[in-house]
Structure 1
Amino acid sequence: MDLIPFFWAAATLAIVTLSAVLAARFGVEIAVGVFASLTVLANLIAAKTIVFGPFIAPAAVLVYASTFLLTDILSELFGAEKARLAVWTGFIANLVMMVSILIAVRWSASPVMDPGLAASFDAVFGFAPRVIAASMVAYLVSQHHDVWAYGFWRDKTGGRHLWLRNNASTMASQLIDTMIFISLAFYAVLPNSVLVQMMVGQYAIKLLIAVLDTPFMYLAVAATRKAG
C-alpha cells in the first residue's frame, strides 16, 4: 500500500496546525496567508491525478481538504469574521494567480525557450474556463458554509464537543464542494455514471482527511491557548 498520500496529508495538516500556533503568537495574518497559499497551491497541482487506495482523485484533494481544518481553527480561536477574511483572501489570491497564468499561457514564448517545454507549460497551465468557474463557485459556497456550520454547531453544543463541530461542519461542506464542482465542471461532458463515481471517490478521500484532521484540531487549539 502506498503510504505517500498519508504522509502528505499528515505533513499538510501539521503545517496548518503550526500556522495556527504562529498566528496566535504573531498575528492572525499568518494563518490567513497560509490559507490563501494552500488554495492557490491546490489549483496549481489539480491537473495531476493520484491513486488513493481504490480511488483516483486530483492531487489537490489533499491540500484543499486541509483548508477546511484551517477555517475551523480560525473560527474557534479568532472568530467567524477572521475565517471569512481567510476565505475571501483565498478567493482574491486565486483570481490573481489565474489571471497571471492565463496571460502567461497566451503570451508567446521567447525564441530561446525550448518549444517542447513551452508546449508543456501551456498544456499544464491551460485552465479550461468552465473548470475555473466551477472551482471558484464550489470554493465560495462550501467555504462560507463551513464557517457558518462551525458556528452553528458550536452554538448548539454550548461550546462543547470540539470534535463534533469540526467534523460535522467539514464533512457537510466537503460534500457541497464535491457535488458543485464536479456537476458544474463536467455535466454533459462525461456520462452521469462517471460523475457519480468521481463524486463518491473524491468525497470518500475528503471524509478520511476530515477524520484524520481531528487530532490536529485539538492540538492546534491546545497549543495556541497554552501559548496565549
Structure 2
Amino acid sequence: MYIYFTAVFVGLLLLSNILSVKLFEMGSIVLPAAAIVYVITYLMTDVIGEVYGKKAARRTVQAGFLTQVLAMVFIYISIQLPPAADFQSQAAFEEIFNGSFRIILASLVSYFVSQHLDVSIFHTLKQRHGRKKLWLRNNLSTMTSQLFDTVLFITIAFWGVVPTSVLLGMIVSQYIWKFTVAAVDTPFAYLLVRWARKYEEKHQSELLKAS
C-alpha cells in the first residue's frame, strides 16, 4: 500500500504544479487552482508516516522533490523543441508550462522546508502519544508546515513584485484556506490509516500462510 500512497502523493504534487497557473475566487479570496490539490499531499505524508514510519514519509517527500525537478527539466526541454508546422498552440503551451525561475525556486524551497517540517512535527508528537491522538498530530503538523509553506512561497515568488499589503493579503487568504482544509481532512486521515493497517495485516497474514 505504501507504493500506492506515494504514487498518489507524487501525482497530486505534479498536478498541483500544472494547475497553479489558474486562479479562482472564493468570495474575496483569490487562490491558485493548485490549492485544492496540494493540501492533500500533507494528508498523504501523515498517513504514510503513521502507518509506515518516519523514514518512509521522508523517502516519499524526497521522491516528490526529485520528481518535481525532473518534471521541470523535461517541461523546459519540451518547450524548447521546435513546434511542428501544424501545431498552432506553441504560445499557449509556453504560457501554461513555462513558469518563471523565481516561481519554480519558490515552489521548490517552500516544498522542501514545509514537507520536512510536517514529517518532523508529526513524528515528534507520535513518539509522545503512540497511536493515540492522530487528530492532534495530523492537524498540528499540517497547519504549522502549511504556514511556513505559504509564507515562503508567497514571499520568494512575489516580494518586490506586488505591494507589501497585497503580499500580506495573499499570505493570509491562502493560509486560511489551507488551515480550513487541514481541519476538515482529519476523518479521512483516520479512514486511510485504518484501511492501510488492515491491508498490511492481511498481507502479512497471507505471507505467513504461504511460508
TM-score, structure 2 normalization: 0.91
Corresponding position of 1:12: none
> What's the CA shift for 1:224?
2.2
> What's the CA shift for 1:54?
3.2
Corresponding position of 2:207: none
Corresponding position of 1:93: 67
Residues 1:39 and 2:13 are matched in the alignment: yes
Q: Which has the higher contact order (CA 8 A, sep 6+)?
A: 1
Measured in 2, the distance between the counterparts of 1:57 and 1:72 equals 24
Deviation sequence 1:67-125 (CA, Å, 0-9, x none): 000000011000011111111111111111111111122222111212xx211111111
Corresponding position of 2:3: 29
Measured in 2, the distance between the counterparts of 1:124 and 1:135 equals 16
Measured in 1, the distance between the counterparts of 2:106 and 2:185 equals 26
Corresponding position of 2:128: 156
- The residue identity in structure 2 corresponding to 1:85 is R
5 Å-filtered alignment, 1:24-173, equals 28-114=2-88, 117-173=89-145
Query: Partner of 1:93: helix, strand, or coil?
Result: helix
Deviation sequence 1:173-196 (CA, Å, 0-9, x none): 000000000111110111111110
Measured in 2, the distance between the counterparts of 1:107 and 1:57 equals 32
RMSD across aligned positions (CA): 1.1
Measured in 2, the distance between the counterparts of 1:32 and 1:226 equals 18
Q: Mind listing any 5+ residue stretches in structure 2 that lack a counterpart?
A: 202-211
Of 181-190 and 157-166, deviating more is 157-166
Contact 1:32–1:85 under 8 Å retained in 2? no
Measured in 2, the distance between the counterparts of 1:208 and 1:53 equals 15
> What's the CA shift for 1:165?
0.5
Residues 1:193 and 2:135 are matched in the alignment: no
- The residue identity in structure 1 corresponding to 2:195 is A
- The residue identity in structure 1 corresponding to 2:156 is L
Query: Partner of 1:50: helix, strand, or coil?
Result: strand
- The residue identity in structure 2 corresponding to 1:120 is A
Q: Mind listing any 5+ residue stretches in structure 1 that lack a counterpart?
A: 1-22
- The residue identity in structure 2 corresponding to 1:197 is G
Q: Which is higher, the Rg of structure 1 or of structure 2? A: 2
> What's the CA shift for 1:200?
0.6
Query: Partner of 1:47: helix, strand, or coil?
Result: coil
> What's the CA shift for 1:156?
2.8
Identity %: 41
TM-score, structure 1 normalization: 0.85
Measured in 2, the distance between the counterparts of 1:80 and 1:53 equals 38
